[in-house]
Chains A and B, each alone.
Chain A
Amino acid sequence: MAENSPNLAVRQNIVELSDVSVEYRVPQERIGTFKEYAIRMLQGKIKHRTFKALNGVNLEVKQGEIFGLIGPNGAGKSTLLKLVSRVIRPSHGRVVVRGNVAPLLEIGAGFHPELTGRENVFLNGAMLGFSRQEMEDKFPRIVDFAELGDFIEAPIRTYSSGMLARLGFAVATDSQPDILIVDEILSVGDEAFQHKSYERILSIKAQGATILLVSHSMGMIESMCQRAAWLDHGQIMSMGPSKEVIDRYLGRVSEEENRQLIEDSHHETITKDRDYKAVEIRQVKILNSQNNEQQVFHTGESMAVQIEYQANESIDSLEVGIAINRSDGVHITGPNTTYSGLDIKVRSGPGGVVYTVPSLPLMEGMYQISVALVNRQGNKMLDLQDKLYVFRINNRGHHVRERYGLMTLGGEWRFM
């Protein structure tokens, strides 16, 4: 969908935010009652904290483009959409909008359960600023698109959630707006309707509308948007061609995840129980090809699991084994030193083994590693750390020839 538009630069800005900040003054403590407020006010004890939902944002959206907004929850994406749709005003800076805005912020906001579908269509239309005459014209098309049939005359408390979503979407998108604001839209209704709403958005776009799209689906942003902005803590971290912005954003997400996972695993090792063990696991590290600790990998990358143990007794036939499970419980593999022909005899003191995977065949997901030490004489479990170590496969930004399922078999396609 992302088309090449060489003339993007010459098009006019349809939405312009210049140095826009949105501040909320929130009381530091919640004061709920008038009495409390009056007392505090007399005592001069009301302290306010300023919360910046957006901080110095500059943004220009060109006419006719689909512009994506990405970022974690609470980054200010919805605040930005609300600024454009006039729901809130900037505390500083300037917002200029050159066209009428159709918000798909909350589909069906303002529906009344006791009213019929027909009555709600007119009510909802009025909230979007349409006159009765305009709604009379739209009504047949709306009912047709929402696929409600005779249900349109029934109170909407009798509707299924899918029917409600269809009706709300149909009312909000019936007219051709200059700017369409879409916040996680395509998660409503069944698959057939999702497809239909996707088509409708594309047709609105085809007629020249500008679309502001917020989504947590990077795939959708990448396929639909030419440009995107990554927001975090009310500031724009990166803006430009959507693919580049997404890669930067996901790079940061991986870094954060990696750091978090490493922190967590160290924490676990320290706090584990300290009972006496003949041989105990001292440290387990997941390493990349440069022998650095890493917890986010991509398919095809090499990975090593380094296990250090401490022997308190001498054991002639120690076996070190690991199990790898996907986070949903699917057991991937369970290699151990015995099957690989590695005989381990330990005397009191430290020791260690490394399990190396030259090329990870696993597809995207979370995986857990369990580590066990076993005395083969008497088949006795000496130490076990169950699913304590976690790594993740994330293929964003890497060329991987397969996408679905558990793993790649490394197979190749050719003409017969």
Chain B
Amino acid sequence: MNFQANLPVVYDSTRRGSVIFEELREILNYRHLIWQLVRRDILTRYKRSFLGVAWTMLNPLGMMLVWTIAFSQIFKSNDLPAYPAFVLNGLLAWTFFSQTTTAAMVNLVWGGGLLNRIYIPRVSFAVAAMGTGIVNLGLSLIPLFIVMFATGLTIHLSIIFVPVSILVLVAFSLGVGLLLSTLAVYFPDISEMYQIVLLAWMFLTPVMYPETILPDAYRFYITNLNPLYHIMKLFRIPLYYGRFPTPAEFLIPLGIASVVVVVGWIVFARKSDEFAYRI
């Protein structure tokens, strides 16, 4: 046995720096874990189903059909051309937001109590939920392109802007997911409440309808007070509308998403030391 004379300090509870940056550094060290968690989520979700991962694409298509049939009498084709593509485009962003925020919260609180057994960065679950969402969103872009083609829309050069839109959507969802996770650790009821909030939020966001059909009195509130409106629009512009966003259309959602993700991260990181006792 050889014993080193000077052992390096690997961990010192007092020499810590900011929790906020520590989580950031650790999540980079554990990037392999994130990949494994994403892989696990995708593999297990469809493991026992016959069509498997194809459901990632079939699911939004089915939803789109239901909404198109339900709304086909309300919007005549000249009001809103290629309505199925409009709905599907909105649904993809909405599904990403609702699924990833729910998953971030549920995986943390009901994740098998992993956090109080071994050390892993506490943001792992939320970040992995975003990863899973990105994979699902990427796959479901394929049916969107098919529907756009079938409804006579053309895919423009603006498609190169889609990754930026997705990044803004991810940042916003991560921020909301982290805030929700923090709350849900203290109040498990939040996850039930959130499902109701989501339903209301979906109707208050122009997912199925264009904001132009809203009466002027309400339109003001929805377009100004609902942050998701701007983020969803940023995702629709390069695809359904086939153009690049104006500086305002880009900077407003970018600003909102940046604030939300920074606030969410700080709140989560500052409370994260308590999680191991609470879960």
Which chain A residues have a beta carbon within 8 Å of chain B's beta carbons?
11-12, 14, 24, 32-35, 37, 63-64, 82-83, 85-90, 93-101, 103, 105-106, 109-110, 112, 114-115, 119, 122-123, 126-132, 155, 178, 206-208
Contact = CB atoms under 8 A, between A and B. Distances in A.
B116 interface: yes
A207 B2 CA distance: 9
Given A63-B7, A115-B43, A129-B29, A90 B118 contact: no
Interface in B113-165: 113-120
A105 B7 contact: no
Contacts of B193: 34
A86 B12 contact: no
B219 interface: no
B267 interface: no
Interface string B187-203: 11110010000000000
Contacts of A105: 117-118
B213 interface: no
Interface in B1-47: 1-14, 29-30, 32-33, 35-37, 39-40, 43-44, 47
A95 B13 contact: yes
* Among B6, B32, B276, residue most surrounded by chain A Cβ atoms (within 10 Å): B32
A96 B13 contact: yes
Contacts of B47: 114, 155
A82 B30 CA distance: 19
A311 B180 CA distance: 76
Contacts of A122: 36
Contacts of A85: 118-119
A11 B112 contact: no
Nearest to A24: B277
B273 interface: yes
B277 A88 contact: yes
Contacts of A129: 29-30, 33
B112 A110 contact: yes
Interface of B: 1-14, 29-30, 32-33, 35-37, 39-40, 43-44, 47-48, 112-120, 183, 186-190, 193, 273, 276-277
Given A115-B40, A127-B118, A94 B30 contact: no
Contact of B117 (A106, A112, A114): A106
B112 to A, nearest CB: 6
Given A32-B189, A34-B183, A87-B276, 17 more contacts: A12-B5, A37-B186, A63-B3, A86-B119, A87-B116, A87-B119, A88-B277, A89-B273, A96-B11, A98-B7, A98-B9, A103-B117, A114-B48, A123-B40, A127-B36, A127-B120, A129-B29
A114 B44 contact: yes
A77 B4 CA distance: 28
Contacts of B120: 127
Contacts of B32: 126, 130-132
A246 B73 CA distance: 82
B13 A90 contact: yes
A109 B117 contact: yes
A33 B29 contact: no
Nearest to A113: B44
A33 B10 contact: no
B118 A128 contact: yes
A85 B115 CA distance: 12
Nearest to A133: B32
Contacts of A155: 47
